[in-house]
Amino acid sequence: RYPPFPFVWLGWPVLRAVYKGLAGFDRAAHASRLDCPLLLLHGTEDAISPIDSARTIRDAAPDAALVPFEGAPHGGLHDWDPKRYLDAIDSFVRRRPIPGAEPVPEPAPSPVAQVAT
């Protein structure tokens, strides 16, 4: 079984190289070219990737939503506030229609339910 964090056994030199590579990546420029909706879930106390970076990405993307988690650090948002985490994803997905999909009509009342009332 692998350790939960691969950088533990790969070592700090590899971790530093990864972060150095990410430092030159223009996330906002990439986000501006997206042709799909983008949901950003971000902790306001993230010391690795500050909340302002998420705001910059949100502002650059054509269709983006940012859900800040007050006081949350980097990662583990699903544990920080599980209900809010799931609600944010559910709301984001439900607000966006699937291209070519038809709305589902409300079901007709059941004849059995009418008799029982």
Q: Is residue 28 domain-resident?
A: yes
How much is the pTM? 0.66
| 56 to 24, 41, 59: CA distances (angstroms) | 15, 13, 5
Tally of domains in the chain: 1
Range of the structural domain that residue 62 is part of: 8-94
Q: Identify the pLDDT of residue 4.
A: 56
The CATH number for 90's domain is 3.40.50.1820
Mean pLDDT of the chain: 84
Burial class (CB in 10 A: 0-12, 13-18, 19+), 37: middle
Q: Identify the pLDDT of residue 100.
A: 79
Q: How far apart are CA 89 and CA 69, in angstroms?
A: 13
Q: Is residue 1 domain-resident?
A: no
Q: Identify the pLDDT of residue 75.
A: 86
